[in-house]
Amino acid sequence: MAAEKGPRHRFERIAFLSSGAPEATAALHELVARYGNVHPEAADVIVALGGDGLMLQTLHRFMGANKPIYGMNRGTVGFLMNEFHGPDLIQRLDEAEASIVHPLLMNAIDMEGESVKARAINEVSLMRQSYQVAKMRISIDGRERLGELAADGLLVATPVGSTAYNLSAHGPILPLDATMVALTPISAFRPRGWRGALLSDKMRITIDILEADKRPVAAVADHFELKNIIKVTVAMDHATGLTLLHDPGHSLNEQILREQFGY
């Protein structure tokens, strides 16, 4: 008589990743002893143990791999993570709600004429490299909208990133399902009254650096930085989707909504 098989779970093969912090490493040993560990390429799901920094690194690492990622907070900041609790992990994965997010695609050109592309899940930021303010011209879909912005910098933030650096720069929080990006100045000097813009995520944003040799600017896509740029274009990469898993009642959309009410 054939032995009965147990119930099939939503994710059978789990790959665990740790930030390397002591709490994350201890959690890794606990979970691997309980559930085993497979190579990420063979996994049905990636479980990231750390903080938001590790989650961003993991999302970048597996971009285009079509692997859902479930994070558990074993770090300092855990906005993108679930609470840590190991014994019921399989049930939590079975019941987890999926959120699909898209990255920004940045194309930056430096003073040597080199063009570099990079993706950003949170934001693309332009920052002055010297004591002098940066001067930038902003065009949307090829049409100039702001001839000169004098500021410490400028952000293009996704809904996911709208609660991060963008919020610290007094930019708006965007619901996850908003088809928008936030364009937010950092310490704007001129025009003083400009507080940024909300743009359709189908629009293409072009930022030209004015007086680039005198007022150098760096462009940053999440953790990737390119110095001495003269021009940056940013657009949402709708062709690339990333899947984040969260416990019921704690979806990414719910987290963003709570942030708007301060809890």
Binding residues for NAD(+) are 52-53, 122-123, 152, 160, 163-168
Beta bridge partners of 71: 48
Told to judge if 94 belongs to the known catalytic residues of this protein, a careful annotator would answer no
Instruction: Check: CB of residue 7 under 8 Å from CB of residue 61.
Output: no
- Nearest alpha-carbon partner for 32 in 83, 89, 98: 89
Residue 216: beta bridge partners?
A: none
Helices then strands, counting H and E runs in the chain, come out as 5, 16
H or E element in which residue 58 lies: helix 52-61
Amino acid residing at 184: T
Give every CB contact of residue 151 below 8 A, 6+ residues apart in sequence. Answer: 128, 133, 134, 136, 185, 186, 187, 188, 189
Question: In terms of Cα–Cα distance, which of 166, 188, 168 is closest to 178?
Answer: 166
Binding residues are 52-53, 122-123, 152, 160, 163-168
Which one from 44, 52, 177, 237 is the annotated catalytic residue?
Answer: 52
Provide the token pair at 118: 């990079």
- Reference 160, options 262, 86, 52; nearest CA is 52
Q: How far apart are CA 166 and CA 159, in angstroms?
A: 10
Give which of 8, 6, 5 is closest to 94, Cα–Cα. Answer: 8
Q: Say how many C-beta atoms besides its own lie within 10 A of residue 65's C-beta.
A: 12
The residues annotated with a catalytic role in the active site are 52
